Amino acid sequence: MGCGNSKVLPEASKKGYVSVVQSLVAFRKAHDDDDDEPKKRTEKQSGLWFSTHVKNLQPASNIQQQQTLRDGRHPGKVTKYKDKFDPRVTARYDIKALIGRGSFSRVVRVEHRATRQPFAIKMMEVEAPGGREVCASELAVLQRVSHSNVIQLIEVFQFPRRVYMVLELATGGELLDRVVSRGHFTERDATQALQMVLAGVGYLHNLGITHRDLKPENLLYYHPGADSRLLVTDFGLATFGSAGTRSEVSGPDRSDGGDPNRSRRQDLVPQNHLWNS
């Protein structure tokens, strides 16, 4: 769920949806090396906030199924990441496994101590270079959205050095993983996937939100089943504007024909999501 420079989803060709999804196989995943552990420092309580109740987003029948895929990829690292979590967070949630990492964040699978319901917590380092901006952007979007094809925020804990976002747990893997594991998508599979992506992105556009980092790694299946919904995630590069209007963002020069989402003072509109190299 990290952020990084990458290409967006390719534009649909005249050959239909199958070629679009098959082209996703060309994307290759980058694995970050383990970062050196920063020295532990005591955090002071400041501006702590959490929701008055936890949303029950997962049917009971799905809870056991959600333990079967991508939950425990780094079980040996649980202890050291527990030490980095504020005790006011761990008092409410039991940390189970590290399941993801990004430039400014780590994502762990947790279990709510009272309800035993599984969730994900995204811990963001706001003091890292650029971390505060990325965190603010993502939090602004997540606190505003509510859609079946967009990842849902349950509650958030805010401290001076770190922000902890409690999210619904998606265990069905990335879109790219599913394409690769199957070897190909049928036209029906491709159509269903694209319909769910377009439903989520269309909802965001109606709110004036441009994601700016759509890629297979940021599209997650809620559970491993064939009937799983697909979720748009990772809003660290998202921008706001009035619905259907343009907004501006500063970034690298595009004089060499680069990605328009990285242009200098370039008008941002939903059509940016259709850019293709």
Q: How would you write the chain as a 3-class SS string?
A: CCCCCCCCCCCCECCEHHHHHHHHHHCCCCCCCCCCCCCCCCCCCCCCCCCCCCCCCCCHHHHCHHHCCCCCCEHHHHHHHHHHCCHHHHCCEEEEEEEEECCCEEEEEEEECCCCCEEEEEEEECCCCCHHHHHHHHHHHHCCCCCCCECCEEEEEECCCEEEEEECCCCCCEHHHHHHHHCCCCHHHHHHHHHHHHHHHHHHHHCCEECCCCCHHHEEECCCCCCCCEEECCCCCCEECCCCCCEEECCCCCCCCCCHHHCCCEEECHHHHHCCC
Who wins on pLDDT, 119 or 57? Answer: 119
The residue among 7, 15, 8 whose CA lies nearest residue 190 is 15
> Given a cut of 70, is residue 180 above it in pLDDT?
yes
What value, to the nearest 5°, has the Cα angle with vertex 74 and ends 70 and 76?
145
> Within 10 A of 237 (CB to CB), how many other CB atoms are there?
23
pLDDT at 171: 95
Of 213, 256, 259, 267, which is the active-site residue? 213
Domain boundaries, the chain: 60-167, 172-272
- CB atoms < 10 A from the CB of 267, how many? 14
Report, at the CATH architecture level, how domain 172-272 is classified: Orthogonal Bundle (1.10)
Predicted confidence at residue 239, as pLDDT, reads: 92
Residue 167 has pLDDT above 70, yes or no: yes
What tens digit of pLDDT does each residue of 250-271 get? 333 333 444 444 433 344 455 5
d(CA 90, CA 143): 22
- The tens digit of pLDDT for each residue in 22-42 reads 444 444 444 444 444 444 443
Inform me whether the pLDDT recorded for 88 exceeds 60. Answer: yes
For 30-80, how does the pLDDT look when each residue is reduced to its tens digit (9 = 90+)?
A: 444 444 444 444 343 444 444 434 454 544 444 444 443 344 455 556 677
Catalytic annotation present for 34: no
Q: Is 15 annotated as a binding residue?
A: no
Residue 219 sits at the vertex; the CA angle it makes with 90 and 209, to the nearest 5 degrees, is: 90
Residue with tokens 């748009």: 232
Query: Rounded to an integer, what is the distance from CA 96 to the centroid of its chain?
Result: 19
Q: Domain 60-167 belongs to what topology? A: Phosphorylase Kinase; domain 1 (3.30.200)
* Single-letter amino acid, residue 53: H
The residue among 184 and 224 whose pLDDT is bigger is 224
pLDDT band at 101 (very low <50, low <70, confident <90, very high): confident
The whole-chain average pLDDT of the chain stands at 73
